[in-house]
């Protein structure tokens, strides 16, 4: 069948992720975000966008020195772990002024109700309510707006895939919602992103067995000295089984951390040692050695960068310039789309408002090799909203089109299986498109008479 020719995408899959700059990177950040992005950046099929989310840091941290230090430490960790700033976009969020600008454009198409449902905001409100405080006590508007800022990070660079932890999935879904609302109003400008959850490194447990996280104070810093690393590992919780007693791998934080660093052969051998009753002291020594093997070679490059913050600044600014080469023209396109544009712009504002705001679709009729007559409804970006099956005569096809133009979505029921919705098109979207088409036809008729 005559399917719309979607231009073959020669461009690479864009993968984007950020780390909030509020603390010292720990092993959880390393296995969950730093290491996988470094590995992904080596594939030539992807284009990576990796950044330091320092605007996000302001939401939960009011210590300027800490944000500054954390930015340096995370940037240095990423590079020491092998990220090549030449191959990817590596930048600091606050060096891209287009991001807060896009945040505002998205703010205006995001329902307040959507943000009310964000987990992080809701958790704060619920906590206040449970303890009898004002629901909004200590809740900043920044916390409330967090998902919109994150949406801007993602949509600014038309990211396809966003690797994140489970707790962030909702934010990616919200970014999709924002992109759809924007596109619906102003035309197809934004790309709908998808969350990518790395199952194998789902969540690294911390010293106490809960998720490794700053907020639980149970982390192992990625770049502690070898002696410190050893000391911290000796503090990982275990049960009280004595050496010689067989141990359980399930629920063992020690085992899970080991697994995150080891090959599958090494993990199998470690599980066998558990079964054979390895003592906890020996197991901790093996874990220490395994982590040390991976981290030790990164210590010198890390120290080098930490001691040369100006060098890191320069790298990040260079990255920002590269990123802005994309962001600046794109925000111009979006400003144009929403009406923040030159007053001398040649098209009459009325006409532009009609044709762009509502983005009127059009019917296209054609004949197929099977001799039958078809039509489809296509939006201004070429997306198929509705597709007919074959009609025996062009007149029948024309009548069906007339019915759709006149009765809108109601005609869908009458036409039954003769027409099918385009891929990913909702009934509401179709009905809105038909309505805008009807309005336009009416306007045209009026201006002619």
The sign of the dihedral angle between the CA atoms of 334, 340, 345, 347 is positive
The minimum distance between CB 193 and ligand TRP, in angstroms, equals: 8
CA distance 253 to 250: 8
The span from the CA of 312 to the CA of 72, in Å, is 7
Residues 10-49 vs ligand TRP: string with x where CB under 6 A?
Answer: ------xxx-x-----------------------------
* Choices 111-119, 149-157, 259-267, 299-307 (CB under 6 A): range interacting with ligand TRP: 149-157
User: Judged by CB, which is closer to ligand TRP: 96, or 312?
Assistant: 96
* Nearest distance, CB of residue 127 and ligand TRP, angstroms: 19
**Which CB sits closer to ligand TRP, 161 or 383?**
161
Q: How far is the CB of 291 from ligand TRP (least distance, A)?
A: 23
Q: What span, in angstroms and rounded, lies between the C-alpha atoms of 25 and 42?
A: 22
CA-derived radius of gyration, the chain: 28
Question: Is 53 one of the binding residues for ligand TRP (CB under 6 A)?
Answer: yes
Q: Which of residues 166-225 bind ligand TRP (CB under 6 A)?
A: 168
Residue 354's Cβ-count burial label (10 Å; 0-12, 13-18, 19+) is middle
- Told to check if 153 binds ligand TRP by CB under 6 A, we report yes
Query: Residue 54 Cβ, how far from ligand TRP at the closest point, in Å?
Result: 10
Q: Least Å distance between CB 446 and ligand TRP?
A: 47
Q: Pick between residue 20 and residue 252 the one whose CB is nearest to ligand TRP.
A: 20
Nearer Cβ to ligand TRP (70/387): 70
Interface with ligand TRP, residue 150, by CB under 6 A: yes
**Residue with Cβ nearer ligand TRP (38 or 53):** 53
Q: Per rule CB under 6 A, is residue 75 in the interface with ligand TRP?
A: no
Long-range contacts of 338-343 (CB under 8 A, 24+ apart): 338/105, 338/186
The least distance separating ligand TRP from the CB of residue 60, rounded to whole angstroms, comes to 9
Alpha-carbon span 234 to 305, nearest angstrom: 29
Distance CA 328, CA 239 (A): 56
Cβ proximity to ligand TRP, 17 vs 436, nearer residue: 17
**Cβ burial, residue 442 (10 Å; 0-12/13-18/19+):** exposed
Whole-angstrom Cα distance, residue 256 to residue 212?
Answer: 12
Q: Torsion angle of alpha carbons 202, 207, 208, 210, nearest 10°?
A: -20
Cα-based torsion angle of the residue sequence 250, 254, 257, 261 in order, rounded to the nearest 10 degrees: -110
Q: Indicate whether 56 belongs to the interface with ligand TRP (CB under 6 A).
A: yes
Contacting residues toward ligand TRP, per CB under 6 A: 16-18, 20, 53, 56, 150, 153-154, 162, 164, 168
């Amino acid at each position: 069948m005559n399917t719309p020719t979607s231009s073959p995408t020669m461009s690479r899959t864009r993968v984007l992720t950020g780390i909030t700059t509020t603390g010292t990177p720990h092993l959880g950040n390393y296995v969950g975000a730093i290491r996988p992005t470094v590995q992904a950046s080596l594939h030539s099929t992807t284009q990576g966008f990796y950044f330091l989310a320092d605007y996000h840091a302001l939401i939960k941290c009011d210590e300027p020195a800490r944000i500054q230090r954390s930015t340096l430490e995370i940037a240095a960790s990423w590079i020491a772990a092998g990220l090549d700033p030449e191959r990817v976009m590596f930048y600091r969020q606050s060096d891209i002024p287009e991001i807060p600008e896009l945040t505002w454009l998205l703010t205006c198409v995001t329902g307040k109700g959507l943000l009310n449902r964000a987990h992080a905001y809701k958790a704060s409100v619920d906590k206040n309510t449970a303890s009898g405080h004002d629901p909004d006590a200590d809740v900043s508007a920044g916390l409330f707006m967090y998902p919109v800022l994150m949406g801007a990070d993602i949509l600014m660079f038309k990211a396809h895939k966003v690797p994140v932890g489970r707790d962030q999935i909702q934010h990616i879904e919200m970014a999709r919602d924002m992109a759809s609302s924007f596109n619906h109003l102003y035309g197809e400008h934004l790309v709908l992103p998808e969350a990518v959850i790395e199952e194998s490194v789902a969540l690294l447990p911390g010293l106490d067995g809960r998720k490794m996280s700053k907020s639980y104070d149970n982390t192992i810093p990625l770049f502690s000295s070898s002696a410190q690393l050893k000391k911290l590992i000796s503090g990982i919780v275990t049960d009280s089984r004595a050496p010689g007693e067989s141990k359980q791998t399930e629920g063992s934080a020690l085992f899970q951390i080991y697994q995150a660093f080891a090959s599958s052969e090494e993990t199998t051998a470690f599980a066998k040692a558990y079964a054979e009753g390895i003592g906890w002291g020996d197991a901790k020594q093996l874990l220490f050695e395994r982590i040390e093997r991976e981290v030790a070679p990164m210590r010198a490059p890390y120290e080098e960068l930490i001691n040369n913050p100006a060098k890191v600044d320069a790298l990040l600014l260079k990255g920002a310039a590269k990123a802005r080469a994309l962001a600046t023209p794109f925000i111009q396109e979006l400003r144009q789309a929403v009406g923040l544009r030159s007053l001398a712009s040649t098209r009459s504002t009325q006409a532009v408002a009609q044709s762009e705001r509502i983005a009127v679709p059009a019917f296209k009729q054609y004949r197929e090799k099977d001799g039958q007559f078809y039509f489809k409804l296509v939006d201004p970006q070429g997306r198929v909203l509705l597709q007919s099956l074959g009609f025996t005569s062009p007149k029948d096809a024309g009548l069906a089109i007339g019915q759709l133009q006149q009765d809108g979505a109601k005609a869908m029921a009458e036409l039954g299986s003769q027409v099918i919705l385009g891929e990913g098109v909702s009934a509401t979207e179709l009905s809105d498109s038909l309505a805008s088409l009807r309005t336009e036809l009416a306007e045209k008729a009026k201006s002619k008479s």
